Structure 1
Amino acid sequence: MPRVSFNRFHYFPEITASWPERTGFINLSLDDKQSVLLTFLLGQVDNNSPDLGPAIRHMRECVEERPFLIDLLKHLAPAPYEPAAGLADARAQERYNREADIKQRYDRTINDLTNPADGFAAWRAFVGQWPNAVPVIQFTQPRTQARNILRQATMLSAGNQSIAIRLNRASADELYPIISNIFAVVERPSRILFILDMGQARSQMQEREAFVTEAVTQISALLDARYHSQLRFVSTGGSYPQSTPNGLHERNIHEREIWNNLTEATDIRYGDYASMHRLVPTTTFRPSDFRAAASLPLNVSWLCWRSENANDTTEWQTGAQAIVEHDEFDGSVECWGKEIIRRSAAGDTNNIEANRHWIAARINMHIKTQIEYSSDLTEDDIDL
């Protein structure tokens, strides 16, 4: 496990192994990749992998030798698809059986890695494969797993190594007393990064902000005031809309708005879901219908365009032209994702006529934009 000075970083994006997320990140410049502390959330790729093998390969492509945070998407694989007509057709039955087998094998992998036995020994052994990985502490039921969570944190932080603890609105109250005990065994509080996860939402802004404020207050109260300067916090969450009205519309980045409010009273870093709308799939079925959509990420908002027409690949050019003609386009960041918009607006949509390409472009532009904006906003700090 590495020792990481968390305050060296101004931006903490989170991605999974999905094609748009990894492609958007990989196409950043080397300087941009080195300027962020990436969280990589391991999970099933494309609903058809029976284990974490594909996700691990993509993770390695993204992080290379750089330090990063490693975490786990704990939800299980989606249910196999059963057509409305039933499974009388042999091919439908074969597909169902194949997907059921994949689900069983994948679910076993996740259950093994989140097994609390011996201080989550399986997770500790797993993350130990990557010397550049800062492990996020695992748990599923903090109230009944307190001793094993404490043992996990003790073992992973041994030798003054860095760890991270993710709190959300559901788990925070049960984690505070465990964090108090963790403080007693770690060598330096600054080696713990507290990830305050507001979740995915475009509502309840006051409640989400209140959660982060309360978490900072509660965790700070567990330490003597002379150590408060060693506490390391990052807020994270997602608010990219699942869909927008037809045409071009602006949508605020709520997690950035909340962070701007928080920094008036709290030393906290900024993180987000990298403009990905994070959903937990409930079935392997994927509809084939689509509407062309494109976005231009800005410092505190997204310009979102959506086609009026379904299943029309020529509309990517229409959307790109609408974005290029907007006043904000020329002053936005220069990067791979922006070049995709330029190409499409000029009529070159070769190999970029699918939603995943445009999501990747958005993620690439969003991360680049937030790198520059975060660097401008955050004063340089030195770890104590």
Structure 2
Amino acid sequence: MRTLDFKSFPYVPALRSRDSEKLAFQSLPESYQNRLLPLVTLFRSGNGTDFGMPLSKATRMVGGRPFILDIDRIQAQVSRTADQDIIDAARAFNSTLNALTAPTGGFSAWRDFVDAVPNAVPCAVIGGTVKEFISQVRAILASKGKIAIRTSGSNAEMEHVLAALRAVPDVTDVLLIVDLGDVRGRVARAVQVFEVTRSRLVAALPLDWPFLSLVCLGTSFPFETPPAGVTPLDIEEADVFDAIGGFAVAQYGDYAGMPVRPQKGGGMGYPRIVGPTDREWIQSRGQNIGALKEYISCADELKKAGWANIPGLWGSDRIDAAAAGNIANMGNAAKWLAVKMNIHLYRQLDRVSALAETPQPNAYDDEMPDND
């Protein structure tokens, strides 16, 4: 892990510890899996009381490959009218979450947790005092050699982040992920947030900031269900990346075609198939809730709209099979989420790899310190 070169990974997709993400990632060609550095966030599994199952899913997803390990810090919420065992499980989970992310001992509980995962680059837990946060970062670097820090760029978080970056021996051991969240309809605002964050890095680390690995992360896939029929949707996080200066400034990150918060994978919603392209998601939605056979018509309409398949890729082959009338083992939304993510990851890795190999001007030569 100590020899890991963050800059050798042009694409850092944010995934979750769920079966859909696991299927999507593992169904990529092995050569593609090897070229990704996924940021995997542990989410509560069902009515679980701890992070044992989510961690197991995350490690099985990536195999022995390096990955960034983060944890969702949203407390479990249940209705007061829920069964008592569900309420008790939620309380137990929240207690586990609080203990795991407590700043005590420089976040020792979180450090012990991630130390047990040899191929994981830990994502620092932002919280506690600045001193406690710096202690966490230094201790993780001492034990793992590498660390990731994920920030929204808020003032409160950046106070911790900048202090820690000043305190580390070598910023090349840090991957700083600027998570812009949902950027749909707010590309200009997202670019501004990123630029302000980068400007603060330049001011705080005048000599070191060019050597820091920086990821621009965001998503524009909406929560809302599209209208029936075929609807194209721009991938606006790609627009944000272009606007900040592309690979001259940062590495590319997205949510693998998912919203900021997870969609439920089961359910009896409208049948929907999404066919990703380089810069669009082509959505094909059925007419009737729970009508599983409409996955066939969704796939057929998607292909009629001109969506181009990728022969031999698992997700693309599932769409081809559905268009031909075969939806065996594909009769639920979770499988079609995996199809979307599988194709999205494949196409985005191809796209951003080509961009990364194109000579890029140094967009900020004028910000480098003078040598005299």
| Matched residue, 1:215 | 197
The answer to whether residue 220 in structure 2 is matched with residue 239 in structure 1 is yes
Find the partner of 1:173 among 123, 136, 155.
155
Whether the 8 Å CA contact 2:266–2:333 is kept in 1: the answer is no
| Matched residue, 1:320 | 299
| Matched residue, 1:296 | 275
Alignment-mate amino acid for residue 118 of structure 1? G
Find the partner of 2:323 among 345, 350, 353.
345
Mean alpha-carbon deviation: is it higher for 356-365 or for 238-247? Answer: 238-247
| Matched residue, 2:252 | 270
Alignment-mate amino acid for residue 327 of structure 1? G
Alignment-mate amino acid for residue 33 of structure 1? Q
**In 1, Cα distance between the equivalents of 2:137 and 2:175?**
12
**In 1, Cα distance between the equivalents of 2:268 and 2:108?**
44
Aligned length: 358
**In 1, Cα distance between the equivalents of 2:126 and 2:329?**
41
| Matched residue, 2:12 | 12
| Matched residue, 2:57 | 58
Alignment-mate amino acid for residue 309 of structure 1? N
Mean alpha-carbon deviation: is it higher for 306-315 or for 158-167? Answer: 158-167
**In 1, Cα distance between the equivalents of 2:317 and 2:291?**
22
Q: 1:36 to 1:186 in 2, by over 3 A?
A: same
Whether the 8 Å CA contact 1:2–1:131 is kept in 2: the answer is no
The answer to whether residue 103 in structure 2 is matched with residue 116 in structure 1 is yes
Superposition pairs of residues 92-107 of structure 1, within 5 angstroms: 96-107=83-94
Whether the 8 Å CA contact 1:38–1:69 is kept in 2: the answer is yes
Mean alpha-carbon deviation: is it higher for 363-372 or for 204-213? Answer: 204-213
Alignment-mate amino acid for residue 77 of structure 1? A
Q: 1:40 to 1:159 in 2, by over 3 A?
A: closer
Give RMSD over aligned pairs.
2.2
Find the partner of 2:209 among 221, 228, 238.
228
| Matched residue, 2:177 | 195
**In 2, Cα distance between the equivalents of 1:244 and 1:333?**
27
Equivalent residue of 2:318, what SS? helix
Q: 1:348 to 1:174 in 2, by over 3 A?
A: same
Q: TM-score, normalised by structure 1?
A: 0.88
Equivalent residue of 1:15, what SS? strand
Q: 1:313 to 1:232 in 2, by over 3 A?
A: same
**In 1, Cα distance between the equivalents of 2:262 and 2:22?**
18
Identity over aligned pairs, percent: 24
**In 1, Cα distance between the equivalents of 2:194 and 2:73?**
22
Find the partner of 1:156 among 114, 117, 140.
140
**In 2, Cα distance between the equivalents of 1:296 and 1:74?**
31
**Gaps (5+ residues) in structure 1?**
83-94
Mean alpha-carbon deviation: is it higher for 369-378 or for 321-330? Answer: 321-330
Q: 1:269 to 1:354 in 2, by over 3 A?
A: same
Q: TM-score, normalised by structure 2?
A: 0.90
Between the two structures, name the one with larger relative contact order (CA 8 Å, sep ≥ 6). Answer: 1
1:323-367 superposed Cα distances (whole Å, 9 cap, x missing partner):
12232314x575110011011111111110111111110010000
Q: CA deviation at 1:175?
A: 3.1
**In 1, Cα distance between the equivalents of 2:91 and 2:162?**
37
**In 2, Cα distance between the equivalents of 1:161 and 1:350?**
46
Whether the 8 Å CA contact 1:176–1:219 is kept in 2: the answer is no
